[in-house]
Amino acid sequence: MDNAAIEEMFEPLGPVSIRRMFGGKGIYRNGLILALDVYGEILLKADPVSAPLFEVAGARQWVYESKKGKPAAMPYWSIPEEAVDDPDVMKIWLQLAYEAAVRSQK
């Protein structure tokens, strides 16, 4: 996804910065990473507080194969379908991702 499209998607939350990383992009708000663009898909940060909400909404956790050939689960989840075409619902999920980023700093 190009940077302008990412900025537009995250606009309800406020300004974000985008940095290249690991062949993808990190999406930051107030210096905290709250999302990734991996292979053209936006993945939102979650934690033990918010991950169950993502799971119930039908989102899937990002899991990749580690160097040892084992699955490695990351604290990032796909955007729930209900949010894709509804900016008001998207804002809720973006806020949850930002709150997870804030909690991860404590």
Query: Where in the chain are the domains?
Result: 3-101
* pTM over 0.85, yes/no: yes
The three-point CA angle 39-43-48 to 5° equals 145
**Residues above pLDDT 70, as percent of the chain:** 100
What is the reported pLDDT for 102?
97
d(CA 13, CA 44): 13
Q: Over 90: is that where the pLDDT of 106 sits?
A: no
Say if residues 2 and 25 touch (Cβ distance below 8 Å): no
pLDDT tens column, 11-60: 999 999 999 997 899 999 999 999 999 988 999 999 999 999 999 999 99
What is the reported pLDDT for 72?
92
Q: Name which CATH class applies to 3-101.
A: alpha beta
What is the reported pLDDT for 37?
96
